[in-house]
Amino acid sequence: MNVRLKRARELAGYAVQLTKDEGLGTMLARGAGFVRRRCFGKKARYLPAKKVLEAQRAEMAGKNFENCQLSTISVLTPLYNTPEVFLRQFLDSFVNQTAPNGELCLADASDAAHSSVGDIVREYQAKYQHIVYKKIENKGIAANTNAAAELASGEYLALADHDDILAPHAMYTMGQAIRQLREAGEPDGFLYSDEALFTKKIEKPLVAHFKPDYAPDYLLCCNYICHLAVFRRELFEQVGGERPECDGSQDHDLFLRLIEQVGGAAHVPQVLYYWRVHEGSTSGGTDAKPYVAKAAKKALADHLERTGRTGTIEDGLYPSTYRVRWDIVGEPKVSILIPNKDHTEDLEKCLQSIWKKTTWDRFEVIVIENNSTDPATFAYYEKARQRYDGLKVVTYPDKGFNFSAINNFGRKAAEGDYLLLLNNDVEVVNGDWLTELLRQCAHPGGAAICGAMLWYPDETIQHAGIVTGLGGYAGHSHKYKKKGGSGYLFRTSTVQDFSGVTGACLLVKTAVYDEMHGLDEQFAVAFNDVDFCLRVRDAGYRIAWTPYAELIHYESKSRGGDEKDPVKAARFAAEQQRLYTIHGKENILDDPYYNPNLTRDREDFSENDDLRRLKEGRVTVRFRGGTLQ
């Protein structure tokens, strides 16, 4: 089926469901937002409305740096031969903040031919008290940033480049976010926001980087945090500031060291920083600064050493991305559970690919026979046992299809340290697929669950992680995307943190599976994997997904579509409702690893048709911890 047609059908289905759940008015409003975003102008779409900015200024009227009741933030900016137009735009963005809790600390390493940089700053200093300036010797970006930090008096520090622009509500929003964290008793040592790219004016942005909440595995693959990062000055001093030996990836290195101290990070889903795209800027790619990759690998290797973990740091699939090839601790055994009813051609393809290609040799395969009716199926099992050394076939004793109950039954026969739930209609692509799944789990601080990249036979993505809330319930990241791209912010080409992965290929620590009492058998067909993963996530474990384990999924060949059968459709609707009942609708619609400014109507990580939370300047913040050792 054509990809556009698939998406259109799924969108139409979602519109019908939305109308049933929330009424025609909500569906029409959502549809109007879609048309408005797609067909009309996008000017200033990430900025709060003028009345919101005016309200913030009115709230802060007559207040100053000391008494505005917001935490003070010193913005650290090294200057170096900054073009006048860039410098004035940057300085204007600071002095026009809606709240006065900011201090700008400028360390100027410009050469003698660019003395005008200092002249321009002094011009602004004459009008604005909280701009601190010092002329310094150029010792590199890290040392120059540290020199700026020596000028700071704020409780918090932030990093900004001399050619970029702060959003007008950056200081206000971060100050309010810090207040919210403190009131909730959450760690307030490290915060970051979303950002946008622009060329000339921030009112005409190119694209936004809408980030997930703190995602430790993702951060090891690329510096997705970037701007605007705000952190306690005492922590910055405690870790020794930025390290010159990591120049080029000095911020990535700093973030890792700060998070080691805080135990996680807080995310503010507002665009508070505008990153200028021009020749020589890292926003245009690391080709402009080839030393970045070397510095990033050092930062990551040092992080592993500090946190007591071992692995090799390698280049990722795309420039400016990286890969930790974790050392697997011990030789864990994996029990592969494959439910099967007839369809022996599919099963044979699956088994043959496992035995022929898999390089990890510590595994067992348990086929769970589920009410097959074709006599040839049982004859096939006998032959398969002879051809595939150690293959087990166990017979599920109950009638009907219940994916959860079948796998729970199969677990009783499993001897492995890990369980791998695997559909019978998948085929292994790369020989180290199982090794790569284990790499994400079988090391100190590893994930409890790991999922794989699943392709349709036409080389489009079937599964690259589960995002809850898509279509109202859950969907697959980047579904139908053609092979060959990196995904939104590298999210199909780097190891990721997700709220769930598909049960079609799901590796889980056996101890965790047992702790959760297995799959919930009241989810007979749908959402059993989503429910299981959410229970694991909410118990404090991490769920990872890797692009380095690849399989082809001949999806639903053995079971047909539920929507064409009234009985199956009713069961599917009941399981949808059960997902809401157990986990809460708001929780389902609020996936921490999916930004609220991205759409829930599609699976392509496109912008939300409704950016009201940005226009309203809505201040929300969420802290997430992450295992670092």
Q: Are residues 135 and 155 in the same domain?
A: yes
Q: CA torsion angle for 515, 516, 522, 523 (degrees, to 10)? A: -140
Q: Are residues 55 and 20 in the same domain?
A: no
- What pLDDT score was predicted for residue 585? 96
Q: Are residues 108 and 61 in the same domain?
A: yes
Region 292-298 average pLDDT: 94
Separation of alpha carbons 476 and 463, rounded Å:
5
- Quick one: tokens of 282? 């890292």
Distances (CA, A) of 364 to 352, 360, 381, 415: 14, 11, 15, 8
Residues contacting 491, CB < 8 A, separation 6+: 218, 464, 465, 477, 478, 605
Domain assignment present for residue 595? The answer is: no
Give the largest CA-CA distance in the chain: 91
Domain assignment present for residue 296? The answer is: no
Separation of alpha carbons 18 and 286, rounded Å:
43
Residue 443 neighbours by CB distance under 10 Å: 19
Separation of alpha carbons 190 and 232, rounded Å:
7
Burial class from Cβ neighbours inside 10 Å (0-12, 13-18, 19+) for residue 573 reads: middle
pLDDT one-digit tens code per residue, 226-284: 999 999 999 999 999 999 999 999 999 999 999 999 999 999 999 999 999 976 555 55
Residue 311 has phi, psi (to 5 degrees) of: 180, 170
Tell me the percentage of the chain whose pLDDT exceeds 90. Answer: 86
Q: Are residues 370 and 491 in the same domain?
A: yes
Region 181-190 average pLDDT: 98
| Closest CA relative to residue 439, chosen from 410, 461, 470, 418 | 418
Domain assignment present for residue 436? The answer is: yes
Q: Are residues 455 and 389 in the same domain?
A: yes
Domain assignment present for residue 202? The answer is: yes
Q: Per the structure, how many domains does the chain have?
A: 3
Q: Are residues 275 and 338 in the same domain?
A: no
Helix axes 528-538, 566-583, angle to 10 degrees: 10
Domain assignment present for residue 300? The answer is: no
- What pLDDT score was predicted for residue 270? 98
- What pLDDT score was predicted for residue 146? 98
Separation of alpha carbons 8 and 558, rounded Å:
25
Residue 565 neighbours by CB distance under 10 Å: 12
Question: What is residue 122's three-state secondary structure?
Answer: helix
pLDDT one-digit tens code per residue, 515-553: 999 999 999 999 999 999 999 999 999 999 999 999 999
Per the rule left: phi > 0, alpha: psi between -120 and 50, beta: everything else, 392 is beta
Domain assignment present for residue 233? The answer is: yes
* CATH number of the domain enclosing 139: 3.90.550.10
pLDDT one-digit tens code per residue, 149-183: 999 999 999 999 999 999 999 999 999 999 999 99
Residue 534 has phi, psi (to 5 degrees) of: -65, -40
Look at residues 240, 265, 280 and tell me which one is the last residue of a structural domain: 280
pLDDT one-digit tens code per residue, 315-335: 999 999 999 999 999 999 999
Separation of alpha carbons 430 and 434, rounded Å:
9
Angle at 453 between CA 449 and CA 457, to 5 degrees: 140
Domain assignment present for residue 151? The answer is: yes
- What pLDDT score was predicted for residue 291? 83
| Closest CA relative to residue 145, chosen from 48, 246, 220, 35 | 246
C-alpha gyration radius of the chain = 26
Q: Are residues 14 and 141 in the same domain?
A: no
- What pLDDT score was predicted for residue 144? 98
Confidence of residue 479 (pLDDT cuts 50, 70, 90): very high
- pLDDT > 80? residue 564: no
Residue 131 neighbours by CB distance under 10 Å: 20
Work out the mean pLDDT of the chain and round it to a whole number. Answer: 92
Q: Are residues 13 and 66 in the same domain?
A: no
- pLDDT > 50? residue 401: yes
pLDDT one-digit tens code per residue, 21-70: 566 766 676 666 555 544 444 688 999 999 999 999 999 999 998 899 99
DSSP string over 186-224:
---SEEEEEEEEESS-TTS-SEEE-PPSP-HHHHTTS--
Separation of alpha carbons 194 and 618, rounded Å:
13
Give the domain extent around 231. 51-280
In this structure, are residues 189 and 261 in contact, taking their beta carbons and an 8 Å threshold? yes
Q: Are residues 497 and 582 in the same domain?
A: yes
Q: Are residues 212 and 340 in the same domain?
A: no
- Quick one: tokens of 559? 């079971």
Angle at 234 between CA 617 and CA 282, to 5 degrees: 60
- What pLDDT score was predicted for residue 560? 46
Q: Are residues 194 and 265 in the same domain?
A: yes
What pTM was estimated for this model as a whole? 0.91
Q: Are residues 496 and 385 in the same domain?
A: yes
